[in-house]
Structure 1
């Protein structure tokens, strides 16, 4: 997990550098690319934090995690069944 966080930090730093270079050279493409790298790094860091939190809570409370998974599965199954029971002429296919 630390590798993912360090990769995210590296991506953010390189994005900041690229964005600053784009501003210095008045290159909009470099600015946009740098901003995209920064946002990608932040998203990667959030994902790593969420995955770590989910792993810890699953270890601490396995029955709660099982109940949540069952609830999500039930809701997805109900949505799938409701979609399948619609007439063909109403679907947006």
Structure 2
């Protein structure tokens, strides 16, 4: 067990102990803090497990990992470009203008703007 996993387990145990102490003392704020710390420890463990699995997968299948990274990069770039084009249309339309996607399903990139009455 490396230090990342040890910290995650320590946070989870400390959160559980803090929550238990708050129940004995009757302090609801301490109980919420204990629950939050316990959930933080669990999420750290999940993240560490995912990082380990990803590291092992990249070591075993580097070309698959490269292809997946390229696909994710392409998808993020397309989403960014779409958002940027919508923002540009809204800026050109000016204040007091309502902009929405065109009603045609085939033309998702087209945005229709009209002045507010």
TM beyond 0.5? yes
After TM superposition, give the deviation of residue 46 of structure 1 in Å.
Answer: 0.6
Matched residue, 1:71: 71
Matched residue, 1:83: 83
Which string of whole-angstrom CA distances, capped at 9 and with x for unpartnered residues, describes residues 51-73 of structure 1? 00000000000000000000001
The alignment yields a C-alpha RMSD, in angstroms, of 1.5
Q: What's the secondary structure of 1:85's corresponding residue?
A: helix
Q: Rg bigger for which structure? A: 2
Once the two structures are superposed, the pairs formed by residues 12-91 of structure 1 within 5 Å of their partners are 12-86=12-86, 87-88=89-90, 89=93, 90=99
Partners of 2:17 and 2:66 in 1: how far apart?
44
Q: Unaligned stretches of 5+ in structure 1?
A: none
Partners of 1:7 and 1:81 in 2: how far apart?
40
More strand by share: 2
Partners of 1:74 and 1:19 in 2: how far apart?
45
Q: Unaligned stretches of 5+ in structure 2?
A: 94-98, 101-117
Q: How many residues were matched structurally?
A: 91
After TM superposition, give the deviation of residue 49 of structure 1 in Å.
Answer: 0.4
Matched residue, 2:115: none
TM-score (norm 2): 0.73
Partners of 2:31 and 2:84 in 1: how far apart?
46
